[in-house]
Amino acid sequence: MSDPIFFTAAADGLTLAEIAAAAGASLPDGADPERRFSGAASLESAGPEHLAYMDNARYGDALAATRAGVCLVSPRFAARCPATTVALVSRDPYRAYAALLGRLHPDALRPGSQFAVRGVASGAHVHPEARLEDGVTVDPGAVVGPGAEIGAGTVIGPNAVIGPGVRIGRDCAIGAGTTLSHALLGNRVIIHPGARIGQDGFGFAMGASHLKVPQVGRVIVQDDVEIGANTTIDRGASRDTVIGEGTKIDNLVQIAHNVVIGRHCVIVSGVGISGSTTLEDYVVLGGQVGVVGHLRIGRGAQIAGSSNVNRDVPPGSRWGGTPAKPVRAWFRELTTLARLAERGGKDLSGEDT
């Protein structure tokens, strides 16, 4: 349940008719379309004024006992809703719930000003040669360098540093303590606190003494990208580092120089992607995946968490393991090892080890 100190609910909430329309659901007979709901909550904590959702069989008992006023459910669970709860049947209850939660708590969709200011706050440092459109917010302690350009509706959090020449589109949110250099950002980009974008890539010509290779590329972040807290994205050396439209990157991810990530990819916490690797559109990397350099992961491929990818991955495939391989081969290996262990750990000669 949201805390009103942190997340103010929309003033009038939502009517049952508005919830049903947004979810693409039909109202049950006898339901009051004008009944209002002020917030959302889990099945266990919801009250009559709340919206909840359920799409996992593990929570069947919680659904049966919920006090929620309205619940978004998939068709197979609708019959388990209590008589006091309006069941709205949706093919994708979680997605519908997410959209409605954004309407009930719009301030939770992206980081806002930490100082409740509009415009440039006292204590911010904006270079005279920087160009800010009307409606930009810059919190105290933030630094905006010469030649930087920031679009309308963008919020720059406290102590963020926007380097010389950086361009940020409209309606972006740059979290507290973030640093941006040598980067071009599109519209509606969200960068969470502490991220580092555009610093040197790790490039050296090895020898008796390692010679630094100048990193003269940029980071290009396209529209609607979200980058998690304390993630690092190095600028390119010989080509730009690119993050494609709609891609979502979790906290604590490392993306090296010259990496190109396609559109609508999902990269989970702890991932490391080595230099000059390409991810095509709609790739999913599970938590703590490691990818070596100069590879290509095909469109729509999915890599299981904690895997290590050391060769190209075909489009649409599902891989896992170390080194990563098609999941069926990986599962066969795991099954074989388990069977060997169950047989007493005999070595290849048949003797007990």
Burial (0-12, 13-18, 19+ Cβ within 10 Å), 212: exposed
Number of residues that make up the chain: 353
Instruction: Exactly one of 182, 257, 264, 294 is catalytic; name it.
Output: 257
Residues 6 or more apart whose Cβ sits within 8 Å of residue 241: 201, 217, 218, 219, 220, 233, 234, 235, 255, 256, 257, 258, 259, 260
| SS3 label, residue 95 | helix
The label of the residue with tokens 């081969």 reads: 329
Helix, strand, coil % in the chain, rounded to nearest 5: 15, 25, 60
Q: Which whole-number Å values give the CA distances from 220 to 185, 235, 352, in the listed order?
A: 6, 9, 58
Structure tokens at 314: 């075909």
CA pair distance 296, 259, nearest whole angstrom: 10
Residue 146's CB is within 10 A of a number of other CB atoms, namely: 12
Query: Are 27 and 16 in contact, with CB atoms under 8 Å apart?
Result: yes
- Annotated catalytic residue 192: no
Q: Which residues face 73 on adjacent strands?
A: 54, 89
Determine the residue type at 220.
I
CA pair distance 260, 316, nearest whole angstrom: 18
Q: Which whole-number Å values give the CA distances from 104 to 18, 26, 39, 97, in the listed order?
A: 11, 20, 6, 10
CA pair distance 339, 353, nearest whole angstrom: 15
Residue 304's Cα: distance from chain center in Å? 17
Q: Which residues have a catalytic role annotated?
A: 257
